[in-house]
Structure 1
């Protein structure tokens, strides 16, 4: 697994333009930090805090409200499921990491400014988001994908899974084992969806708190 991840990172670094995107972002941030203003340390932590919140919210909106819906109504159900199998672990790992960075950067900023204009609600929101997403990634994603794998195998054996934007049970509607697996999958999926909606609401509220701080 480690070798596979290393090879994937090497391909990204040598076969794609992503390193140039990262270099451009670093260059822009470095140029911004050299501008006159408050200390570079405070500005850097604030940039990390705001950037992390913005990145997190953007990833949530794209994954939840755009790509998921577009792919679900564009691809055969099993093809969509294979995409989600790859994306789900990465998405929740990435989001939990970014939300943790946002919380740490916000707390560090408050330490440097001696907790002037501190919003403890903001800190609580960031920690709640991190906790939920870390729990989803570490506890819920793996059994959900395992149940989905079993469900997919049974559907393929029955000749299903090619419908787009819907679930057609067919003869599996009378299979007790399939119905149990489907119920298990839906239970995990619903729990993950509930956590996703809670964190999305928290992210919107965090953004509004940043807006309020700008207005002051």
Structure 2
């Protein structure tokens, strides 16, 4: 005959997320992280080395709004599912750290979606207009950097646009890398909870 179920075990089983919630959480997290790694470390490098600069810039300008919105949505859904599965009164340090990681990921994604990524894309369009007037933009890879350097020196407004792009592109890249790190830490947390593959 079985004895009474300990209160602690009962609480753990009552709050255990369903398999559907676990699947959704893993799906959103892995989709976001996989997309970020692919766009950042594979697609961007390949396109930048094999496409004319203006073609590459135009593709990024069209692609990035979707990329940033999907990243933001996945980060928000991950936080929501995680918070639903871990009631506030039972949060330990590890769970609190996970929630902070998700919040940082949301903040970085939203900054990219609403500000840094958008300004960088708009600035690229302005840079391309000036470059076209000077016969630039069809070079592939790093070719053509010297004519652009000369244009920056001779055209102050182009130089200002180039500096504005460099700043917002750097901030956008930083936010993107922050999201990759946050999602990587969340995947590490999930992997540590697995008893088997």
**TM-score, with normalisation over the residues of structure 2?**
0.83
Runs (5+) with no aligned partner, structure 2 = 1-13
Give CA deviations for 1:20-62 in whole Å, capped at 9, x if unaligned.
Answer: xxxxxxxxxxxxxxxxxx9996221111111111111101111
Partner of residue 62 from structure 1, selected from 38, 49, 52: 38
Deviation at 1:158, TM superposition (A): 0.3
Structure 2 SS opposite 1:62: helix
Runs (5+) with no aligned partner, structure 1 = 1-37
Decide which structure has the larger Cα Rg and report it: 2
**TM-score, with normalisation over the residues of structure 1?**
0.76
Number of aligned pairs?
A: 180
Corresponding position of 1:111:
87
Runs of 4+ in 1 over 3 A off after TM superposition: 38-41, 114-118
Deviation at 1:146, TM superposition (A): 1.8
In the alignment, the residues of structure 2 paired with residue 130 and residue 193 of structure 1 have an alpha-carbon distance, to the nearest angstrom, of 15
Task: Using CA pairs under 8 Å that are at least 6 residues apart, name the structure with larger relative contact order, 1 or 2.
Answer: 2
Give CA deviations for 1:191-210 in whole Å, capped at 9, x if unaligned.
Answer: 00111111111111111111
RMSD: 2.6
Corresponding position of 1:207:
187
Q: Alpha carbons of 1:190 and 1:117: their partners in 2 closer, same or farther (altered >3 Å)?
A: closer
